[in-house]
Amino acid sequence: MSSAAPPKGAPPKTRRARHAKASGRGARTARPAGLWRDAWHDLRRRPLFTVSAVLIAVVLVMAAVPSLFTSVDPYDAAGCVLGDARQGPSAAHWFGTDNQGCDTYARTVYGARNSVLVGLGTTVLTALAGGLLGLVAGFRGGWLDAVLSRVTEVFFAIPSVLGALLILSIFRTGTVWTVTLALAVLAWPMTFRIMRASVITARGQDYVVAARGLGASAGRLMFRHILPNAIAPLIVVSTINLGVFIAAEAGLSFLGLGVQSPDITWGLMIADARARFHEAAGPLLFPAALLSVTVLAFIMLGDAVRDALDPKLR
Amino acid sequence: MAATGDPVLEVRDLVKHFPVTQGVLARRQVGAIRAVDGVSFDLRRGETLGIVGESGCGKSTLARLLMALERPTSGSVRVGGREITRAKGAELKQVRRNIQLVMQDPYTSLNPRMTVGDIVGEPYEIHQDVLPRGRRRRRVQELLEIVGLDPDHADRYPHQFSGGQRQRIGIARGLALRPEIIVCDEPVSALDVSIQAQVVNLLGRLQQEFGLSYIFIAHDLSVVRHISDRVGVMYLGKVVELGRDADIYGRPEHPYTRALLSAVPVPDPDGRERRERIILQGDPPSPADPPSGCRFRTRCWKARDVCAQQEPPLQVRPGASHESACHFPELYPVPRPY
């Protein structure tokens, strides 16, 4: 990039030609512009990102179209033969069978959908609710910010298992949607705080002051100037949280508070297999392993995204 | 750069006190930072008024008050005859078309997530009725051309430009609405010396082309001298001396101005030793608790009792050529003919 601008007397044609030579038309197409595109370029070169993205892609496909991975439908009770219960891995049952004689591999594959739904749903809800409230509170300040901040402090004081117990007992039945809602209600204060803090930093930036000087409306300031510059931490935390929510769903299901049988989730499978772990470890270990790998993949992705979005690390 | 005609900007007794509060539940005011404390001046069409002073003297607060980015405690700012300090909503938006800002730091004053074309074109997005949508792109390219940038670079991002180029982008944004007044808040102090001159010359050229009036805030006296028709010297929220640049630089009356001028580095080694060098003692007092009477008296070698008791108003004193706020101004025996 040429540091000095051309002399002002120069006729436009030469000026343009000089710029083209100095900084290069080709350079523009080769080098991506904008921090998001820079981040994307950066991400693609990180092995951490590649590994986690591939793992996440596999889990997402598993959740969307489980029949691609197995021809057995675990929701069809006819597939379970009680006489075959607690068998070890074999050609017919890759991961063995569980207490009811159902195929553990098929159940593990089908369990991905509910886990991923809860993870994605909760992440979207918390990012939207916490993000928007944090944006408004950080931008407006004053009493609105004070009230919302006190409310989040109350939520932080509630132990999450107790809170989830309370909320789920209101709904009586645990389904994917009630678990999602319960987790979102408990988790939005975290995204709120992160968004609020980064909005407060962005709010005082010179370019926001410049836009105010032009007469920009509050909506334009928030969504055109502040939000694009303040959203990176929220994206990072949401990516990491997605894994955490999947683990939380498994935890709630394990405790019997979450999704109920006959729905299949990894947490439920672990809970069911626990009692007979000494006789058959497979029904517990395989869903637990997939759960751990999925959670780890999202946390690794979050790490990679954070590094890519932080210009200081580049 | 001759100033002609009536004032486009009238500032009267402008005061901005920032409250200092204490207490968690019941906030009570325990004092005030007197950032700007009774500033008055006029700016005429095509004129450049330089504002100089050291850090913390209220220069930038003054700029924010002129731009209605802060509400003053009292006083008035009239832009083209219309009061801006109490304007709201659509009226404020209307008045703002006439006064625009060029900021100090070209690295933070441009939104990194917007292309240069979007940044320079944003004034038209905010003020939809200025220019029909179809002609905006063309106008943005014209503006970039005017400030000496390649119009084809409109779809690049700020981080792809150098500091000087970024400052040109900021100037193009300020020009977009064709304002009469541009407030330049230290527009070159973040730039390399070699680039400073280019940007200052650009501002000078634009002034002649568009008949702009500038408020040029800086702490670099030589830059201000280069561009200004008149200069105001600020100390602790007050203007202590105001006059044509020849007066301020050739016949400084206020001791503070003399001290400031004596601190300007001289590139020529010859005569450096013979120069009078005034070194002020101590730091400026806190603007939360300014000295009684004359605010400069605590660092002034001329101070007497009257300086602590009476605050000297800013006025033309007997035998003086321009306004100063000192009981004992430096007077020059033979006034230069103008």
Kindly report, residue by residue over B64-73, the tens digit of the pLDDT.
Answer: 999 999 999 9
Q: What confidence score (pLDDT) does residue B78 get?
A: 93
How far apart are the CA of A231 and the nearest CA of chain B, in angstroms? 12
Q: What confidence score (pLDDT) does residue B181 get?
A: 94
Residue A127, domain CATH: 1.10.3720.10
Q: What confidence score (pLDDT) does residue B4 get?
A: 60
- pLDDT, one tens digit per residue, over A268-289 is 888 888 888 887 777 888 889 9
d(CA B213, CA B3) in angstroms, rounded, equals: 9
Residue numbers in B near A36 (CB within 8 A) = 113
Decide if pLDDT at A301 tops 50.
Answer: yes
Q: What confidence score (pLDDT) does residue A31 get?
A: 46
How far apart are the CA of B327 and the nearest CA of chain A, in angstroms? 39
Higher pLDDT, A31 or B35: B35
Whether B110 maps to a domain, the answer reads no
B7 bridge partner residues: B44
Question: In Å, how far from its chain's centre is CA A284?
Answer: 25
Which of A1, A15, A225 is the closest to B111 by Cβ? A225
Decide if pLDDT at A9 tops 70.
Answer: no
When divided into structural domains, chain B yields a total of: 1
The boundaries of the domain holding residue B227 are: 1-18+34-98+179-194+205-265+275-292
CB distance A33–B115 less than 8 Å?
yes
Whether B245 maps to a domain, the answer reads yes
Whether A22 maps to a domain, the answer reads no
How far apart are the CA of B285 and the nearest CA of chain A, in angstroms? 27
Residue numbers in B near A4 (CB within 8 A) = 162, 164, 194-195, 198
Q: What confidence score (pLDDT) does residue A44 get?
A: 84
B17 bridge partner residues: B34
Cβ within 8 Å of residue B213, ≥6 positions away: B3, B8, B9, B43, B44, B45, B46, B47, B48, B49, B180, B181, B182, B207
Residue numbers in A near B113 (CB within 8 A) = 34-36, 228-229
Site from A13, A205, A214, A231 to mutate, B interface, most B CB atoms within 10 angstroms: A214
Which of B69, B125, B156 is the closest to A209 by Cβ? B69
Say which residue the tokens 């496909």 belong to. A61
Whether A264 maps to a domain, the answer reads yes
- Cα–Cα separations (whole angstroms), residue A141 to A136, A162, A174, A200, B231: 8, 32, 38, 9, 39
Least trusted range by pLDDT, from A16-25, A132-141, B59-68, B267-276: A16-25
Q: What confidence score (pLDDT) does residue B10 get?
A: 93
Say which residue the tokens 């002051």 belong to. A209
How far apart are the CA of A77 and the nearest CA of chain B, in angstroms? 55
Decide if pLDDT at B215 tops 60.
Answer: yes
Go through A121-150 and write b for each residue having 16 or more CB atoms within 10 A of its CB, e for each that does not.
bbbebbbebbbbbbbbbbbeeeeebeebbe
Percent of chain A with pLDDT over 90: 32
Whether B283 maps to a domain, the answer reads yes
Decide if pLDDT at A17 tops 60.
Answer: no
What's the pTM value of the predicted model, to 2 decimals? Answer: 0.80
- The full length of chain B comes to 338
Q: What confidence score (pLDDT) does residue B338 get?
A: 52
Which of A28, A35, A215 is the closest to B112 by Cβ? A35
CB distance A210–B101 less than 8 Å?
yes
pLDDT band at B27 (very low <50, low <70, confident <90, very high): confident
Q: What confidence score (pLDDT) does residue A25 get?
A: 38
Residue numbers in B near A198 (CB within 8 A) = none
Residue numbers in B near A217 (CB within 8 A) = 126
Helical residues (DSSP H) of B211-301, grouped into ranges: 221-227, 245-250, 255-262
Task: Kindly identify which residue of chain B lies nearest to residue A37, measuring between CA atoms.
Answer: B113
Whether B230 maps to a domain, the answer reads yes
Which of A34, A205, A225 is the closest to B108 by Cβ? A205
CB distance B69–A213 less than 8 Å?
yes
Q: What confidence score (pLDDT) does residue A27 get?
A: 37
d(CA B144, CA B165) in angstroms, rounded, equals: 10
Q: What confidence score (pLDDT) does residue A11 get?
A: 42
The boundaries of the domain holding residue A82 are: 36-313
**What sign does the dihedral A308-A140-A215-B164 (CA atoms) show?**
negative
φ, ψ at A116 (rounded to 5°) = -70, -40
pLDDT band at A21 (very low <50, low <70, confident <90, very high): very low
Cβ within 8 Å of residue B141, ≥6 positions away: B151, B154
Decide if pLDDT at A252 tops 90.
Answer: no
Residue numbers in A near B148 (CB within 8 A) = 5-6, 8
Does the bond joining A262 to the residue before it have cis omega, within 30 degrees of 0? yes
Whether A1 maps to a domain, the answer reads no
When divided into structural domains, chain A yields a total of: 1
Q: What confidence score (pLDDT) does residue A20 get?
A: 39
d(CA B66, CA B83) in angstroms, rounded, equals: 10
Residue A99: what residue type? N
Whether A144 maps to a domain, the answer reads yes
Which of A35, A36, A213 is the closest to B101 by Cβ? A213
Whether A17 maps to a domain, the answer reads no
Q: What confidence score (pLDDT) does residue B272 get?
A: 65
Residue numbers in A near B193 (CB within 8 A) = none
CB distance B160–A213 less than 8 Å?
no
Least trusted range by pLDDT, from A14-28, A175-189, A299-313, B160-174: A14-28
pLDDT band at B216 (very low <50, low <70, confident <90, very high): very high
Higher pLDDT, B333 or B231: B231
- pLDDT, one tens digit per residue, over B293-310 is 899 999 888 888 899 888
Decide if pLDDT at A151 tops 50.
Answer: yes
Q: What mean pLDDT is predicted for residues A190-214?
A: 93
Site from A18, A23, A41, A207 to mutate, B interface, most B CB atoms within 10 angstroms: A207
Whether A271 maps to a domain, the answer reads yes
Q: What confidence score (pLDDT) does residue B88 get?
A: 87
Decide if pLDDT at A174 tops 80.
Answer: no
User: Strands, DSSP E only, in chain A?
Assistant: none
Whether A5 maps to a domain, the answer reads no
CB distance B122–A211 less than 8 Å?
yes
Q: What confidence score (pLDDT) does residue B92 get?
A: 92
Q: What confidence score (pLDDT) does residue B150 get?
A: 93
Whether B106 maps to a domain, the answer reads no
Decide if pLDDT at B337 tops 70.
Answer: no
- Cα–Cα separations (whole angstroms), residue A184 to A60, A144, A242, A256: 21, 21, 11, 19
CB distance B109–A34 less than 8 Å?
no
How far apart are the CA of B52 and the nearest CA of chain A, in angstroms? 21
- pLDDT, one tens digit per residue, over B315-325 is 888 888 889 99
